[in-house]
Chains A and B, each alone.
Chain A
Amino acid sequence: MKVDSVLLLGMYESMLRIRQFENKAIELFAAQKVPGFVHLYIGEEAIAVGVCACLGDRDYITSTHRGHGHLIAKGGRLDLMMAELYGRASGYCHGKGGSMHIADANLGILGANGIVGAGMPIAGGAAFACRYRDTDAVAVAFFGDGASNRGTFHESLNLASTFKLPAVFVCENNLYGISNRQSHHMNVTDVSDRAGAYGIPGVTVDGNDVVAVYEAASEAVARARRGDGPTLLEYKTWRQRGHFEGDPGTYKDPAEQKAWIARDPLPRLEKQLQDFGFADAAAIRALHDKVDAEIAAAVRFAEESRLPGAGDLLSDVYAA
């Protein structure tokens, strides 16, 4: 499998966009400009980017409460996302959903989701629709290690495997469900072991290496497009921030945190780009400047947008 410089630089830029978007979210949250909760994806960017690099607009994803990375990697607009974080009427959900409900059906983003494990059955339904409509599109469900204990995980894998649906189940195993260490809530250490129960392939891959993520996802997506059925991909990774912004994360071992930060996927890829002559320091700097400008424009857009008015209260809601 050939990973060329164009692909790699594109993945680096996308990872950087996620990182800088969230660094800005930290700053804005601290300044109390962003209401509600934000759950940050910092340290896990390689997974969203490596997986979404295998997808097109016609393919679907379902995301999680920690969804900024998935949305940006799938092509979500920074200005509409930032406006949603600000709760402005110009945001993706017109300011009513916040960080955990962003969706963009035109891009195949079937939504972030505040309910743990709720994206998997939605992705299963989308995969069924792809098959029913006889397209070669696929549906990818992102979820965490904690969500793999939920009934939705088992039901979704069971039906997807039984119907050989074009689905890919992507477990981002960051070793914690909120503050609960994985070993405290399940008796297996590799979530991929659970694939065997449904007769589908399950593999475990380094989630902090974007090339490794991409290679595994490419094969799983190709398998789904061929009509050979779903795959369970488990990417081992680490959430560098707390469960939500403001959570000090005191339940984590500082030495383990330090070791994982040393494996941060972004500097790791940057070093590879430079070592192999794909980009020099000036090119990397230029990408940083470009992304920083995009983030600044997104913030400006959000801050210049109006808040929803009283007249918007009953629109875009299911019950009134």
Chain B
Amino acid sequence: MNEVAVGIIANPASGRDIRRLVAHGTVFDNQEKVSIVRRILLACEAAGVARIVYMPDYYRIVEMAREGMRSDVAFGVRLEPVPQVLTGLPQDTETAARWMADKGLGCIVTLGGDGTNRLIAKVCGDTPILPVSTGTNNVFPEMVEGTIAGLAAGVVARGETLDDALYRSKCLTIVKNGRTVDQALVDAVVLDCHFIGAKALWETTGLRRVVVTRGEPHNIGFASIVGCLSPITPHEPRGAWIDLLPDGTNLCAPIAPGLVLPVGVSDVHSLALGEAVAIEAPPCIVALDGEREVEFARGDVGFIRLEASGPWVVDVRRALAGAVRRGFFCDPVRLRRLAAA
């Protein structure tokens, strides 16, 4: 077997945005990310991962995770930073993910929110990702304990699980003036406003249209609007769109942490894979996965298209269930190694 390698991208900037002020967003400080990464590292080692490649960052999340381990316990995994020049901007995440995908890593564990995973998904190709939630309005990444995430990443990277451990996610492609400019993993929201500003969305005024790849009532954010009317799972080969009506309210949905708000909505329209919805009457902004991202000025034309080409995602429960069926947890070699450590 080739040397088993896992990537870690922990976004130091996730969990900082204005929703801590305007809603009741989780306060997720970087020390907690250090703690989660430490558990991921230890579980990866237990799973037999030989090498972990990580995105360096200004907080030194992975380095601090390693430095904080017990000094009397040997840690046998080789840690390597991606050779990249840090900018402190979101492009650091994309640079790291692209490098990891090019090097053929077995799995990339991501710590962030929907926004972080959106950046990684754009460049990670066929390398599976295992998203761990440390952001605000998270639909795409799950709340999963770091040890469990590390084990799941390890069994996927080692190929010691079954095929159903991965699923191909859907995505929304944003096309502006004939050119693909961005993509979303969960939702794209067309807004009646001019500016990206503080990026996050927390108000229902000015919303025109919501397009989703998925939406379930247990989601938070704008995907929940569809989720509270006509749920769509991540695995269904379809999406949906819905128009927001400025007058009247006929639905309430959890659109931000602590904010269950009434909204007026049209019927839910199903969206088939490959089908597109127009972005009408610019100027407007398109928010992707909860953050205002793409400006449409007067005269710009564009659309949002549902595609099946999102990243491969590790289903943690299935990955570990597959590992059980493969006898991973009872492997005598592994047991002897762990006992010796």
Contacts and interface: CB of A to CB of B under 8 A. Distances in A.
A211 B195 contact: yes
Contacts of A276: 194, 283, 297-298
Contacts of B13: 190, 204
A1 B203 contact: yes
Interface string A1-31: 1110000000000000000000000000000
A215 B27 contact: no
B58 A189 contact: yes
Q: Which of A193, A206, A220 has the most CB of B within 10 A?
A: A193
Given A190-B16, A275-B297, A276-B297, A203 B21 contact: yes
Interface of A: 1-3, 183, 188-190, 192-193, 195-196, 201-206, 209, 211-212, 214-216, 219-220, 223, 231, 236, 259, 272, 275-277
Nearest to B27: A196
Contact of B20 (A183, A201, A209): A201
14 contacts: A3-B194, A190-B16, A201-B21, A202-B20, A203-B17, A203-B20, A204-B13, A209-B196, A212-B197, A212-B199, A215-B198, A216-B198, A219-B18, A275-B295
A192 B22 CA distance: 15
A236 B87 CA distance: 13
Nearest to B297: A275
Interface string B283-296: 10000000000010
Given A203-B20, A205-B18, A259-B87, A2 B193 contact: yes
B21 A188 contact: no
Contacts of A205: 17-18, 198
Chain B interface residue count: which class? 20 to 34
A223 B21 contact: yes
Contacts of B17: 203-205
A181 B27 CA distance: 26
A231 B298 CA distance: 37
Interchain residue pairs A-B with the least CB separation, the first 9: A211-B197, A204-B16, A215-B198, A212-B198, A211-B195, A201-B21, A212-B197, A201-B20, A215-B197
A30 B152 CA distance: 63
Contacts of B59: 188-189
A213 B227 CA distance: 33
Contacts of B203: 1
A3 B197 contact: yes
Nearest to B89: A259
B30 interface: yes
A208 to B, nearest CB: 12
Contact of B22 (A190, A219, A277): A219
A2 B195 CA distance: 9
A205 B199 CA distance: 9
A204 B88 CA distance: 13
B45 to A, nearest CB: 27
A44 B158 CA distance: 50
B12 interface: yes
B280 interface: no
A2 to B, nearest CB: 7
Contacts of A189: 12, 30, 58-59
Contacts, number: 76
Contacts of A201: 20-21
A192 B198 CA distance: 15
Contacts of A202: 20, 27
Interface in B192-214: 193-199, 203, 206
Contacts of B3: none
Contacts of B295: 275
B145 interface: no
B163 interface: no
B15 to A, nearest CB: 9
B29 interface: yes
A219 B22 CA distance: 7
A85 B18 CA distance: 37
A203 B30 contact: no
Contacts of B27: 195-196, 202
B14 to A, nearest CB: 11
A211 B17 CA distance: 14
Given A189-B30, A276-B283, A3 B18 contact: no
Interface string B2-41: 0000000000110011101110000101100000000000
A201 B23 CA distance: 10
B283 to A, nearest CB: 6
Nearest to B19: A203
B16 A203 contact: yes
A277 B21 contact: no
B58 A183 contact: yes
A173 B130 CA distance: 33
Nearest to B58: A189
Interface in B271-316: 283, 295, 297-298
Contacts of A259: 87
B223 to A, nearest CB: 22
B87 A203 contact: no
Nearest to A215: B198
A21 to B, nearest CB: 26
Nearest to A278: B194
Nearest to B206: A2
A166 to B, nearest CB: 15
Nearest to A269: B195
Contacts of B198: 205-206, 211-212, 215-216
Interface in B177-236: 193-199, 203, 206
Contacts of B16: 190, 192, 203-204
A231 B197 contact: no
A272 B195 contact: yes
B87 A193 contact: no
A1 B22 CA distance: 11
A193 B30 contact: yes
